[in-house]
Copies of this chain bind each other. A is one copy, B any other.
Amino acid sequence: MRFDLVGTDGRARRGRLHLEHGIVETPAFMPVGTAATVKGLEPAELHAAHAQILLANVYHLWLRPGRETLAAAGGLHRFMGWNGSILTDSGGFQIFSLRERRRLDDDGVTFSSHIDGSRHRFTPESVVAFEEELGVDIAMVLDVCVRLPAERQELERAVALTSRWAARAAAARTRDATALFGIVQGGLDERLRERSAHDLVEIGFDGYAIGGLSVGETRVEMRNAASLCADLLPAEKPRYLMGVGTVPDLLASIDCGIDVFDCVYPTRCGRNGRAMTRDGEFHIRNAAFTRDFQPLDPHCDCAVCKTFSRAYLAHLFRSNEMLGPRLLSYHNVYLLNALMADARNAIERGQWGEFVSSHASEAHLR
């Protein structure tokens, strides 16, 4: 993996990630395909929506379809029919969400499946091995996640263990084409974030993620922590803020020097009837749209906006027709990718400040 920092404008960065399955121009948004599918969308559409890289999840794939099936398929790309890049999250976040279903020890974590209760064990080494078997472009290390708010002692232990596990994951690598990213933890505690970032940078990774945010803290707290972490990370490596995907959060985070993002937000909104636009969000089931024959977003040139009206989409949602969630998910993903493309252009041209100002409407904060 190679990362070229093409340019900057203020703290905002314009970069290029060279991965096994192609180049990812940054800032970049990764649609989430937890279970080897971005919900409702097929690979050809993800290409059409200008997705460069998807996120999938080790916890979910390990349980279903499982290691043997994915190996027999020839890896995750072939299994799901996606020839763009893939990053896998390590599953730390999912496992530590299963409070009663997991037991943590220094060596790893044992957990029971949310599907059938079967017992499984992850170690930093086994997770890297699985990610390399999947043949993904970027693997995330297994980290220890803490739900916020949390006691300082718990956060401190999580950071220490995350660092030890990160070193083990780095030592366990066997496949050059799969880049490995560390994950900075530490909640909202500045000292712990500093310690975590310091430990990971000392180990040395291809890139660094900022984890443990977007988990219940306020938007201001999240942005402050992300901004702090960005400053702690080496300029020559990509920075990935996990779980961020609203228009204002993306803009604020690019403005802090973050390069890569993922979030279920655009597809979850899509399934629930929430349309994202540059000028804010709205719910398509709202009575105002039943005879509104404009496109979802008059400024969007996606296939959905070029073909269908708000009135038609409102009808699909009111009729519980699955085409509704599908079309709205497509539009929302397209919108975020188009926003990233415009952000890249603005940074290249030295117009980042104006670009952010043009979006900084209160509409986004409704």
A283 at the interface (CB under 8 A from B): no
A323 at the interface (CB under 8 A from B): yes
Is B73 within 8 A of A309, CB to CB?
yes
Is A315 within 8 A of B36, CB to CB?
yes
- Which residues does chain B contribute within 8 Å of A80, judged by CB atoms? 312
Known: A37-B321, A73-B293. A312 touches B42 (CB 8 A): no
A358 at the interface (CB under 8 A from B): no
| A303 CB → nearest B CB, Å | 8
- Which residues does chain B contribute within 8 Å of A69, judged by CB atoms? 290-291, 311, 315
| A255 CB → nearest B CB, Å | 35
Known: A72-B293, A73-B309. A323 touches B40 (CB 8 A): yes
Provide the bound-state CA to CA distance between A79 and B311, in Å. 8
A64 at the interface (CB under 8 A from B): yes
Write out, one digit per residue, whether chain A residues 137-154 have a CB within 8 A of any chain B CB (1) or not (0).
000000000000000000
Q: Which residue of B35, B81, B309 is within 8 Å of A307 (Cβ)?
A: B81
- Which residues does chain B contribute within 8 Å of A308, judged by CB atoms? 81
- Which residues does chain B contribute within 8 Å of A307, judged by CB atoms? 42-44, 81
Q: Which residues of A contact B (CB under 8 A)?
A: 35-37, 39-44, 64-65, 68-69, 72-73, 79-81, 290-291, 293, 303, 307-309, 311-312, 314-316, 318-319, 321-323, 325-327
> A40-B323, A64-B318 provided; 8 other pairs, C-beta below 8 A?
A37-B316, A40-B326, A68-B291, A69-B291, A69-B311, A81-B307, A81-B308, A322-B325
